[in-house]
Structure 1
Amino acid sequence: MIRESLSRTVDFVTEHNRLTLALMLVLTGIVVIGGLPQLDTESQAGADAEAFQDLEPIDKANYIADNYERSENETNQTLATVYVRDSDGNVLSKASLLESLRYQQDILANESVAAALRPEGIVDIANMVAVRAADEQNPTLDEQIEALETASAADVEQVVGETLENPQALRLLPSGHDSSSTTATDRRMLVSLDGTAVDESVETALYEAAQDRSGAGFFVLNQPAYNAYNSHFFTEMAFLVLPFALVLILGVLAFTYRDLVDIVVGMVGVLLSIMWMFGLLGWLGVAAGVISIVPVVLVTGLSIDFGFHVFNRYREQRGEDEDIREPMNRSVKLVATALILVTATAAIGFMSNVVNPLNQIRDLGIAITLGVAAALLIFVTIVPALKISIDGLFERLGWSRRKQALGHGRFLRPALSKTVTLARRGAPAVLVVALVAGAIGGFAWTGLAQESYQQPDGEVAEWKQQLPDPVGWEKHPVAEQLNHVQETYQPATADAAIQERILIEGDVTSDGTLTDLQAGVETIRDRGVLVDQPGVRAVESPVTAMAALAQRNSEFETVFDDADTDGDGVPDRNLREVYDAFYAADSDLASRVIERTDGDYRSLLVRFAVDADFTDPDSVVANFEDGAAQMEGSSDRTATPAGSLAINAAVLDEIVGGILLTMALALAAIAFTMAVVFRVMHGSATLGLVVAVPIALVLGTVIGGMYLLGIPLTLLTALLMSLVIGLGVDYNIHIGDRFADELREGKTTFEALDAAVTGTGGALLGSTLTSAGAFATLALVPQAQIVSFSSIVVIALLSSFLVSLLVLPSLLVLWDRYSPEAVTEAPTGEAMPQD
């Protein structure tokens, strides 16, 4: 039934090539012209919030939100930070301070900024110095500017020295700045805004005013800055990658096809496949996002692969006295089974990401699947019909269109045939070596490093910058500025720091509770992971909150001191009475750190301002886990880290743990599909299973390659492993399907294997060179995540090619030798009518 339907479709395409082109042109217009205007190109970053609700840190974070909601969200303050940097000068000079005041004038002249400004206003060393210089109460901004303009440089320097005696001024300077020094290369100002009033216009005003003073070292790191960086990054990536990829692809096509017409026809198919992919994404409402270059490159490689097989088989099939239609008919019918199977199995690997909690990966899997499906349709309809039309026209004009298939040349054919000799002489040995290599690679999974995200460092190789425009990479300052800020400053406030929290539940009124809590806090503090900045509270806990209240409330101080039997400043008895007195004295403060429900004390909350090491956040989480273990003590209590770092680590662990199951299920689904299709199309389910086996070896090779190249498991790379399955099955299917076709024609095992390897192997070589080369060009991009992704795909493609030529032939020999099944004989068919 399937074979008959496929045969009739191919018959129609090759017999009515002009009608096929007309129908497909109309359909292309509907899909592309109708879908592209609806395409969503916005980034779909983030994860499905419901996907990880069962993870303990997320469950506790939700608990905190529910039970500490009022105190967690009691302020709508948003602090916008403006940085000033002059590596070769002094940002505390009179000129730099005046520039800050004029910057404030500019942003306050914006109605949106003025409306969003909170009573706290702007905190800046320039204002502190100018107020002292003005020597009057609450001078206006204009008066401050006038005071600084009239003061001498020496007077300003003296006032700066006096100002830096204030800890509030020091927190605006780099960490560890010597208060006696009146010079600095970096400083910052804080703009206090109402979070509910901050919109795009406010952030744009801050960004544009800083850009106007970029020559004086002013910059901000807000959304408009990141948008400018992203736009610049992807423009530079396109100019750097696409020329290299295009030259490489066209070079390989020229080597493979050795024919300009076939190159043009093949590239038309590639472009249509990509256009169909984006059109279908638009119709379905799936976001293309900022990583759309990945499916473009991947679909380009796979569609070129389809073209290689169609053209290569056509060249093989065309006899000396044949016209164009009949050999094209046979070639499309022969490769269509493999192309359909490649599409189906690749879709299983790619579409396994539909349940992915990360939106970008989910959309990526859908996009690639749609692109591959579009390529299948185009390369069994438009491309054969266009090839027949063009070749027919040229041959009527007297230009012969007969070309030799790749793999049949005097150099490549002997090289490919040696893999058949290897299978003939040492199939069992090849299988053993493959199993050992795959096992070693798979074992490397346990040694892969884990990171939530590979942080960009903004570094660009010198040679990439020296390439002629527009290919040369022009650095954008945001990435370097971000790294500089992280290295230079401690957070200006606790709210500006990375927040980590530990929730303590259970028996929180037993005598040792606060002692254990404080011991855990000290353990974390001693690890050096907390903010160390003047004026910034690194820890907020029941102990710190009660100690602060005791200093201003004598009645509570008495209760607090009576409960502290050893004088260490931590109550260690009668905690229920202490909590009662705490709530009675200041219920708002108490509710920030102690949960009281229906008169019962159920949990305590400790907040930390973290000076996280961005290169190794997992070690920071481990320190909090150690502190939490001490907080639990020996009583009936639990303590759980529930901040952003702990949540990221838990999500990554969940993904890494689940990806093995996902890959196993995908492999099982592909094996089942292969068995069914090979049974229907070739009469042997076991042959389909044998062809599917090498995918596991490809996975092992990829994992081993990641280990050797130091590619970590991240939220992205771990989830992209399922894409490897979709890529790894491609080449094996082509060899296995060709082998079955040749057996059905009555050839012996080694004759069939030789025909499959030399015929199909040539197309696979061209496909590997183009696809792997195209993805290798992504390694030119100075972004660790993209380099890691391209490396994984290149390893997958190269290993798939080598496995299909070196391992699969030996498996096929062993299958033929020991399997009770055999491939069914080919049915007889009628000749194709010709116009």
Structure 2
Amino acid sequence: MSRLDSVSRFDFQRFVDWVDHRIVNRSRRVILVFLALTLVFGAGLSAVETEAGTEQFAEEVPEEEAFSRISEEFSPSFSEATGSTQLIQRAPNVLTRRELLRMLEAQKRLADRDDLRVRSTASAASVVAQTLDEDAETLDAQITAVERATDREVATAVSANANNPRFVGLLADDFNPTGASSTATIAVITHSLPQDEAASAGQGGESQLTPIQRKAQRVVATVGGDISVFGTGVIADEFSTVIVDSLIIVVPAAVLFIVLFLVVAYRDLVDLLLGTAALGMALVWTFGFLGLAGIPFNQIMIAVPPLLLAVGIDFGIHAVNRYREDRAEGHDVDDAMRKATDQLLVAFFIVTCTTVIGFLSNLVSNLTPIRDFGVVAAIGIIFTFFVFGVFLPATKVEVDRLRQRYPIPTFSQSPLGREGSSLGSALRVGIGPALRAPVVVLVAALLLSSGAMWYATGVDTEFGQEDFLPPAEAPAYLKALPEPFAPGDYSVVADIEFLEDRFTSSQSGVVTIFLEGRMTDGAFLEELDRVAQDPPGTFLVENRRADSTSILTVLQAEKAINEDFATLVARHDTDGDGIPDRDLETVYDALLATESGEQAANYLADDYRSARVDYRVKADADDDTVVADARTIADRFRTTSTATGTVVVFTAISDLILDSAVQSLAISLAGTGAFLIFIYWWLEGRPSLALANLVPILVAVTSVAGTMRLVGISFNAFTATVLALTIGLGVDYSVHVVHRFIDERAENDLRTALDRTVRGTGGALAGSMLTTVFGLGVLVLAVLSVLGQFGLLTAASIVYSFLASVLVLPSALVVWDRFSGNDPMVPLDALEMDIGPTPGDD
């Protein structure tokens, strides 16, 4: 070993000794400092704010920025904004006299409430009423018209509107004009709202319509029948409440499972209380930091508590178990804790750094919530390191000293995986193959990993507001939960699916092209006409052109009804094609002064420097194809153009999610590998140990990726972080094994070192694995199904990491030992002392 290596190891040991001294000799001061810090961070809990919905994911996405600019530039600055509520009515036949009256009564009761700010209402029932009485302009008059009509007259009025698109568009696809029947209809209630924020493709967790639509639900319920309220306010409400409902279910369940397995792992009441208190402290510090730093709590962060519990449980069990091993060998309290922390502080430090690298790899993401999640999780892991690496040992020392003076009840203090135990025997299963045929084990593991990674290339990527909402049908076990754990009644996803399924004929999507440049250029309007020709297959067609709305279509519509304006257009049309091509500023000024001016302002900015074009697309078209076609259309423009709209923004986010998953995985692997090479060189003078350390991590990562495709889980806003997290959590298991092996190998032959490692550290890993798997597994109980997917995959990553560490890692360590030129029958200390470093030593 070189002199530089010796100095580096000495310097690090001096730091460890400094911490050891304070843990053992100044334990009370350490405890007081940590309690004081807990009070400081606890004060930040009240400042934590929640942020729900999809809007947060759309930030900084170019397509979303274009979408927001459209709202800003094509809406009057000080005009009244509007919002809408849909009433969805279901019945065997919603066009009967009785059901029509129900809908009209619902409209009237909503309109009569001043606090609901109803500006107008529209429904199929109103159309029927006005067919019965063309003077029935008010809702009262429409109700009277239907009340006075016979069933036959109502049916005749329905049939008379069979070709009325305004009427048919409000009815389900099963509308039968001959039988005057339909099983569903929608009404649209328009509300006046103050002009506030720009529109966004994403849906936020707050909406001006939320309180309005909550009240509307209560009002509509008084009418009877099956009429539900749907709109952005209802969606925003569910975005917010689903976080609280998920935490109410997940946290108690996690605590229950964790306490249950900690009882098995610690088998001592006092140690159980200490471990639980340390877990609570780590959570208070993390979420207090969240409040103090002003980072909002979003849906993804629901996974942070289980993740911190996972790492905290692992640290706690390792700390107590290693201390018990040293106590069992006859050391007193002080010496046992010094010996335990000498080894564990180094292992905890390596685990913390590699896990932080895994979490911080999410900083490359272009999605703000994923970056925030990575930062908060990384900070939480650092806090967990201090709490379990310093506070817990100091408290354990203080408690055990009190036990020696007072009759504090003490239960089992034996370590997990001790010699002769059933667990210890089971953990040895990987030693035999490692000693007999380690290369065969490694080749088999690498072939399995390669196959799993190839299989995982078929994993899909998705993003949509349904990911952040409860499923249409809640699982039976959630419905059976008593209060206060029972989740609320959720309807949004069911309503979305119902509308998409039953109203397809009246629905069409819209994509928007945002144009920037000189809209007064003489060729601009002709360019709009040229681009609309020969539209892509997903676009709706009208007169062999794309069905679109733009400043050109508004201009042509006004020209058809306004002779003066038509004359003006003709004067500015040099080629006689009906489209003005000179002095367009004068044409625009004249158009904005007509009755069509308000509509024109929706498609042309005030300064004539930007414009928008809305293209209607087929409702059943594939989203990816629609987006590709929209971008193709955008490329046809000579001016700067951006394809946008909800479907384009969500697809762009979906692409970013996949990019985030791949980039964070690559950075996490590279960063973890580089750090392990450095740390093993610095601490042990053997950088090649990093290669052995990475083998089980690769096995775990590829296994998780393959599992995603096997069980049909896509990359989404939640699962995009799973692969990087697997590296961070997987390193936890492999580092403990490798570090323990090096300590044991220094004093024992190869077989003994492996045996003591897998029994001692493997026993703690087994207890940690079971506790963590169930602690994270409770996420499947969350109201959000995607959160359950995240919990399932994270729990699977823990299982794979544990199995790889006890089944594959021993073989990697044996191959490393042989590669280093060590004699398997002689301890490393003896080799270095007697014969010096071997030629193969790193």
Which category of TM-score, normalised to the shorter sequence, fits these structures? 0.7 to 0.9
Instruction: Give the CA RMSD over aligned residues.
Output: 4.4
Distance 1:607 1:548, change over 3 A: same
What is the CA deviation profile of residues 671-708 of structure 1, one whole-angstrom value per residue up to 9, with x for unaligned ones?
22223322333333332453245433322222222122
Distance in 2 separating the partners of 1:584 and 1:38: 51
What is the CA deviation profile of residues 282-333 of structure 1, one whole-angstrom value per residue up to 9, with x for unaligned ones?
2222222344431111111111111110111011111465433321232122
Distance 1:229 1:387, change over 3 A: same
User: What is the aligned partner in structure 2 of residue 91 from structure 1?
Assistant: 94
Distance in 1 separating the partners of 2:23 and 2:659: 47
Distance in 2 separating the partners of 1:38 and 1:786: 25
User: What is the aligned partner in structure 2 of residue 733 from structure 1?
Assistant: 735
Post-superposition offset of 1:173: 1.8
Match for residue 215 of structure 2 among 202, 205, 208: 208
What is the CA deviation profile of residues 320-357 of structure 1, one whole-angstrom value per residue up to 9, with x for unaligned ones?
65433321232122211111211111111112224533
User: What is the aligned partner in structure 2 of residue 325 from structure 1?
Assistant: 334
Post-superposition offset of 1:607: 1.8
User: What is the aligned partner in structure 1 of residue 513 from structure 2?
Assistant: 501
Query: Is the Cα contact below 8 Å between 2:275 and 2:316 reproduced in 1?
Result: yes
Match for residue 436 of structure 1 among 447, 455, 465: 447
Task: Give the residue type in structure 1 aligned to 2:271.
Answer: D
What is the CA deviation profile of residues 747-786 of structure 1, one whole-angstrom value per residue up to 9, with x for unaligned ones?
2233222221111011111111111222222223454421
Distance in 2 separating the partners of 1:29 and 1:595: 54
Aligned length: 792
Post-superposition offset of 1:789: 1.4
User: What is the aligned partner in structure 2 of residue 534 from structure 1?
Assistant: none
Instruction: Tell me the TM-score normalized by structure 2.
Output: 0.81
What is the CA deviation profile of residues 573-603 of structure 1, one whole-angstrom value per residue up to 9, with x for unaligned ones?
99957989986984768887799999xxx99
> What are the ranges of 5 or more consecutive residues in structure 2 without an aligned counterpart?
1-10, 197-205, 834-842
Query: Is the Cα contact below 8 Å between 2:526 and 2:581 reproduced in 1?
Result: no
What is the CA deviation profile of residues 477-498 of structure 1, one whole-angstrom value per residue up to 9, with x for unaligned ones?
333122212322359798xx54
> What are the ranges of 5 or more consecutive residues in structure 1 without an aligned counterpart?
531-536, 565-569, 829-835
Task: Give the residue type in structure 2 aligned to 1:737.
Answer: H
Does residue 621 of the first structure (1) align with residue 627 of the second (2)? Answer: yes
User: What is the aligned partner in structure 1 of residue 535 from structure 2?
Assistant: 521
Post-superposition offset of 1:801: 1.0
Query: Is the Cα contact below 8 Å between 2:300 and 2:717 reproduced in 1?
Result: no
Distance in 1 separating the partners of 2:563 and 2:663: 61
Distance in 1 separating the partners of 2:610 and 2:720: 36
Query: Is the Cα contact below 8 Å between 2:136 and 2:145 reproduced in 1?
Result: no
Query: Is the Cα contact below 8 Å between 1:503 and 1:642 reproduced in 2?
Result: no
Report SS of the residue matched to 1:685.
coil
Report SS of the residue matched to 1:405.
coil
Report SS of the residue matched to 1:729.
helix
Distance in 1 separating the partners of 2:569 and 2:821: 85
Distance in 2 separating the partners of 1:127 and 1:58: 37
Distance in 2 separating the partners of 1:657 and 1:449: 12
| Correspondences of 1:8-157 after superposition (within 5 Å) | 8-32=18-42, 34-43=43-52, 46-47=55-56, 51-53=60-62, 69-70=73-74, 78-88=82-92, 90-114=93-117, 118=119, 121-131=120-130, 136=135, 138=137, 140-151=138-149, 155-157=153-155
Task: Give the residue type in structure 2 aligned to 1:14.
Answer: V
User: What is the aligned partner in structure 1 of residue 392 from structure 2?
Assistant: 383
Distance in 1 separating the partners of 2:695 and 2:45: 39
Report SS of the residue matched to 1:209.
helix
Distance in 2 separating the partners of 1:51 and 1:580: 33
Distance in 1 separating the partners of 2:61 and 2:41: 36
Post-superposition offset of 1:643: 3.3
Distance in 2 separating the partners of 1:30 and 1:585: 64
| Correspondences of 1:803-814 after superposition (within 5 Å) | 803-814=804-815
Query: Is the Cα contact below 8 Å between 1:84 and 1:216 reproduced in 2?
Result: no
Post-superposition offset of 1:26: 2.4
Post-superposition offset of 1:546: 6.7
What is the CA deviation profile of residues 9-29 of structure 1, one whole-angstrom value per residue up to 9, with x for unaligned ones?
222222343443333222222
| Correspondences of 1:235-634 after superposition (within 5 Å) | 235-238=244-247, 240-242=249-251, 244-319=253-328, 321-395=330-404, 396-397=406-407, 403-408=413-418, 409-453=420-464, 455=467, 457-466=471-480, 475-489=489-503, 497-501=509-513, 517-521=531-535, 523-525=537-539, 539-540=548-549, 548=557, 551-552=560-561, 576=581, 586=591, 606-610=613-617, 612-613=619-620, 617-624=623-630
Query: Is the Cα contact below 8 Å between 1:505 and 1:639 reproduced in 2?
Result: no
Distance in 2 separating the partners of 1:590 and 1:143: 35
Task: Give the residue type in structure 2 aligned to 1:107.
Answer: L
Post-superposition offset of 1:732: 0.9
Post-superposition offset of 1:383: 2.1
Query: Is the Cα contact below 8 Å between 1:499 and 1:608 reproduced in 2?
Result: yes
Distance in 2 separating the partners of 1:638 and 1:19: 65
What is the CA deviation profile of residues 123-169 of structure 1, one whole-angstrom value per residue up to 9, with x for unaligned ones?
2334344445566464x444444454455555555544445664322
User: What is the aligned partner in structure 2 of residue 831 from structure 1?
Assistant: none
Distance in 2 separating the partners of 1:101 and 1:573: 45
Report SS of the residue matched to 1:318.
helix
| Correspondences of 1:128-207 after superposition (within 5 Å) | 128-131=127-130, 136=135, 138=137, 140-151=138-149, 155-162=153-160, 166-175=164-173, 177-196=175-194, 203-207=210-214
Query: Is the Cα contact below 8 Å between 2:60 and 2:367 reproduced in 1?
Result: no
Post-superposition offset of 1:544: 5.3
Post-superposition offset of 1:712: 1.6
Report SS of the residue matched to 1:718.
helix
Task: Give the residue type in structure 2 aligned to 1:430.
Answer: V
Report SS of the residue matched to 2:91.
coil
Instruction: Tell me the TM-score normalized by structure 1.
Output: 0.82
Distance in 1 separating the partners of 2:408 and 2:163: 93
